[in-house]
Amino acid sequence: MTLNRLPAIFGVFMTMFLIQEAFLDRINFFIGGFSLYLAIFMAWIMQEERNSAVTTGFIAGFIADLSPTLEAPFGLWTLVLTGMSYILATNIRAALDSELSPVVMTIVTVFGSSVALILFLVFGAILGEDVGSGAYVTQEIFGNAMWALLLSPLYVPMTVTLYRLTLTARNR
């Protein structure tokens, strides 16, 4: 990963974070909610090579931890997304074809988002955070997965375009 890609990656995820916090969080999705930030992160990581993926995971996690409405300790999202990025970039990505189809990207994004949310809850619980009722947690995770699936025709092409824009000539 070239260092001059870092500001672009930081800028993209910071913009997504602001959109999530200021706009998407205001919408009452009738089942659970939708984290565009998480969906874009998963679709992004699928395209990155291993070293870049891990660094991007750390940056995206750090930005997610900035959320002032977050009850969990600072660093929890950083831990989860850094871990997820490594798993996706090494294990999952290696098992797939080199050319990713939109369908595969959508499936991995939906499952990846759900796994990230579950890991966040589990690590949060280990650190002493209160976890809501089973019905609430299930609704939130299922709702996010459903919206991630339904809205994938919008955000997957957008993520691919954004990712290509951040590539330097050397990366291409």
Partner 1 sequence: MANRGTNRTRLLWVSLLVTSLFLITLDLRGVSLVSSIRSGTQSLLAPIQRAGSNFLSPISNLFEDITNLGRTKSKIDALKNENEELKSQLILNENIVGELDQLKGVLNLAGKARFKVVSARVISKGGTGTFGETIVLDSGSNAGIKRDMTVIAAGGLVGVVKSTTATSAVVLLMSDPSFRIGVRVAGSQDMGVLSGEGDGKFSLRMLSATGQIKAGDVLLSRGSSGDKPFVPGVPVGKVITVDNATGQLTKQGRVLGFVDLNALGVVSVVLDNVGGNPGDALVPQAPRPAPTVTVFVTPEPTTGG
Please work out, in degrees rounded to the nearest 5, the angle formed at the alpha carbon of residue 67 by the alpha carbons of 60 and 166: 30
**CA dist 81 → 61, 101, 154 (Å):** 5, 23, 23
The 3-class secondary structure across 129-146, one letter per residue, is: CCCCCHHHHHHHHHHHHH
Question: At its nearest, how many Å lie between partner 1 and the CB of residue 70?
Answer: 5
Which H or E run includes 93? Answer: helix 93-95
Please identify which residue in 107, 131, 150, 158 interacts with partner 1, judged by CB under 8 A: 131
Q: Quick check: 67 binds partner 1 (CB under 8 A)? A: yes
Q: Which of residues 69-98 bind partner 1 (CB under 8 A)?
A: 69-79, 82-83, 86, 89-90
Q: Quick check: 154 binds partner 1 (CB under 8 A)? A: no
Q: Say if residue 151 is exposed, middle or buried (CB neighbours under 10 Å; 0-12, 13-18, 19+).
A: middle
Q: Quick check: 6 binds partner 1 (CB under 8 A)? A: no
Interface positions with partner 1 (CB under 8 A): 18, 20-30, 32-35, 37-38, 50-51, 54-55, 57-58, 61, 64-79, 82-83, 86, 89-90, 117, 120-121, 124, 127, 129-133, 135-137, 139-140, 143-144
